[in-house]
Structure 1
Amino acid sequence: MNVIETEGLTRRYGERTVVDGVDLTVPEGAVHALLGPNGSGKTTTVRMLATLLRPTRGHARILGHDTVAEADRVRRRIGLVGQFHAIDPQLTGFENLTMFARLNGMSRRAARDHARELLDRFGLADAADRLAGTYSGGMRRRLDLLAGTVVRPAVLFLDEPTTGLDPRSRNEIYRHVEDFVREGTAVVLTTQYLDEAERLADTITILDEGRTVVTDTPERITSAIGVGLDVVVAAEHRDRTRNILAEIGAREMEVSETQDDSLRISVAMDEDPELLPILRALDAEGIDVHDIGRRRASLDEAFLALTGRPTERTGA
């Protein structure tokens, strides 16, 4: 069963088209990630699906309900965790969740009991009676997530939920999202972290300038753009190695340092490369190769190949 269906979803601001004819289908209990460079329309798409913006053209249905004509019915079944904290820093964690539960129609007693249960389940019981403004970034983000899901939604929208968090806090958020999905919640996720999309998403839509570039599984997206190759060389051979790899058809190159101060040059190639001719070409230039190996192209490389731009670390 598809819980989200859009057709030709479009949003314009004057002469500027921010989202241009996006079609999406998301089944029950699935995670669908929206990726794209800054300004690609990810957040605007989420805001239309969450009934916060009206489409200029096209339509969207959530659980069979039109997001414009039946916005109230849609809002009762969805949760939204935006890019910025929705919690009140002057209230305790317990008071924040009790307030959100009451706003969702729970009685005073049921709201208080449910708030305590959620705080205990998500590792915040010890901080329940502290002001939310004193929480760490990871704790505040978990509280945000609980506020958006205080009544378990059928569809959860997460707009860059882990931006600015340390790896441990990010992993805690991932585990909570995976719990929601196991219980049947469908998730639409926008993220600036491609490893996050690879871990969580069943399908990915890459947007660029408001248009859909591709919609597919992470595995199919990466396999469609070729294979990856890693070459480790001494730092002084960086430019010559890059030139040789470019001559044999390597695309998008990323250079990183290794623990022994060598350089790892990671490239994407259209076809599976034969390593022996590459080694011969490098050896002919006097370049000592410390290591070389094939790998599956990364989602970062696929993103760059499809949009012509690297990922960016700010909201979109």
Structure 2
Amino acid sequence: MKIENTDELRLLLECARGGSLTAASKVMDITPAAASAMLKKLEARLGLRLVERSTRALRLTQAGEQLREHGQRALELLDEGLALALEADPVAAAAGKRGAGADAMPRLRGRIRVSAPSDLTRQLLLPLFDSFLALHPALELQLNVSDSLLDIVKDEVDLALRYGQLADSGLVARRLAEARRMAVASPGYLQEHGRPAHPSELGAHNCLCFKIRNRIERSWRFRPRGPEGGALLSVAVQGRRSCDDASIAHQWAVQGFGVIYKSELDVRLSLASGALVDLFPDWQGDDLPLHALMPSQRFLPQRVRALVDHLAQGLSAG
């Protein structure tokens, strides 16, 4: 059993996108009858039902969805390889072997679909995306910014940036940065309401809460800094404002509306400018490492690898 040509894969992908053979045939510039015959031939050769047909629509079966998922990435890798091969020449190859610098950099093509947290994106990632696209003008970035978690496979995400410890899964993960949460507030808020001397005093302050992994986090945890650490302290907090967008909570804190418990990466620039202040330098919050998650190492396009390397380098430089 095998796929005889890429048109068969492309037809399956277009059927999934358009929801019908008619829509798929228009994109591929063939007749609906030819599209139907090609799909039936593929199903017969594989011995699998790939689609469920109805009078109005078409949807993929479980087997069809599995083939679509891997076929999408296989076609992207093929397109990328063909683009690189077409641009290859002896002079460029020799320059690449000598490490001739930016001029020898592979000319990456295609689209990269990225999902990233809202505050991290606005605070640190946007300049890194800009510099990466400047290095690779033939690339396209499709960015989803949200604190809600997407299904990487179902939503066809090439790269997801996520905080925290990871659950076991078939995804490929690379740790990009170490980070911890910290409690911070603006100088204006502290001048008006006083600075807490100990994390246990946060219960008496206006704390700005936001969704973490799809739920509002109202229990903030701390340990004493130092090699010996110490007992975990969990503080129940409350406040007049909460939201589902961490970047809004960050903005509220800068405006002096309360205290936030955030990743040190998210508040790096605000701490450096003095807009926010670390309330408890002798305490540390939860570990919150930043990971890059990808669907598969085997079918990972070079453009995605390059972006992950660029982000890792940029975050470490900060």
- State which structure, 1 or 2, has the greater radius of gyration over its C-alpha atoms: 2
More helix by share: 2
TM-score tier by shorter-chain length is under 0.3
More strand by share: 1
Q: TM-score, normalised by structure 2?
A: 0.28
Q: TM-score, normalised by structure 1?
A: 0.28
